[in-house]
Structure 1
């Protein structure tokens, strides 16, 4: 029986999905993705380079931004091979081992990015509500420790997902809903009872991204309460203006991901195209738009970038 199970596991192949009905324009879609990925990698790499080489940007806010840029580059690289493989070469097959590796990396980076957004919210809270202790609270060693703790949290929480999936039998060729592997998508193709994965998947989502989003919301509630009770209207607008880029990053990250999670679990009658579009939005838009948002809103960073390119 063990030999049979191993055979079923090793021979199982999953089929990735591009954009059904648009096969005639796959080349143009591939070009769009190539441009998007190039802008994402160059934009985030530029931010990393500027922050690393400019000592005046070695502040908590920009250190957190560099951590966000690293996470965005990782997400881009994690999805690029299978997405471009489909639209450029019509290579839709993926073996289970590669699929499990990809879903682990994607979910780990999503959890890490969620944690970084929480740390950035904490940074804004300290900067606005307790500015005199800002540098003493957010020291470089403390920032490094917080970052390491959240990466380890993501790894510990996400690692059981592919391990649990590996226990199941995949007796036939299964078709995924996206051009990359996600846990909630892969587990539906198992020929076994997946109740454990359903429960643990919800638990993992709750103690990582859901909990982070709640704390981000609470931090902004406290920020609003503080600025409205202490500052003048002009000072209030000036303080809140420093949070705009972070709020944009939060909305770019959480909105498509939450929508996709809800549709996967409760929107069985929804259009497959909606699943696909939300999936691309959740993994492509944040790495693409975060550098643009921060460069537009941060005059300090924008000036440094212009100075480098003008040379």
Structure 2
């Protein structure tokens, strides 16, 4: 008998393969000339050797979108690297390292589709209402967005989302460690509630010496959280692991992936700014986590030899 999650994955593949022809504007671009803060940090042609960069622009409902698709021409079959927030610069940096090392495709959301908004978190290119969080737009009512984000996902390959975050967490919303210095959001190994359950590193060795460096393991409610993709291996390897229990979708990619039977990992580290030292440290932490997790959990992912 096919596992329910596998059946869900087949249903997603059938949905995407049956999707109508794209009405997006798709254009191959020279990365050395792209007017974007992430690309501006990489004007060395060696950074782009073997990679193909495409700009994808489309509209759906009230928002206009721009995606950067960066594909490894040597190894097209590989993980789908997702960088949803344009202000999380180390996520882009780590994805660029990872796609050269393991192949596959990066999809990075560009907030700069609206004038004067390059490098911000939200998409402000909207006709009305509030700005849109690119990681809260995976909705069955908006099928084009998810379809375009996931179009390059190869069967049997994981989705790996890369983020940076602020220091600390909202202590008012947490069920534990409420005496900690207050921060924002929920991204910390010291945060817990009805949905998020932390499994902290015991040794606290680098990169897990930082409370804000975590790996998320989402799982469907009613199932064993230890059976989440890569969860047992990450806990055994002493990661900071946050188990995310999913009941109904909050429109994030983690929820969408689990509810559609797709292998998904989300790695986060502290935002350290865009100065070279801080950016390098955040990138180094994310790449280290990627290397360990793929070695443990993704035997189909092939590490490419250096050129």
Say whether the fold is shared (TM-score over 0.5).
no
Question: Higher helix share goes to which structure?
Answer: 1
Shorter-chain TM-score range: under 0.3
TM-score by length of 2: 0.25
Which one scores higher on RCO, CA 8 angstroms, separation ≥ 6? 1
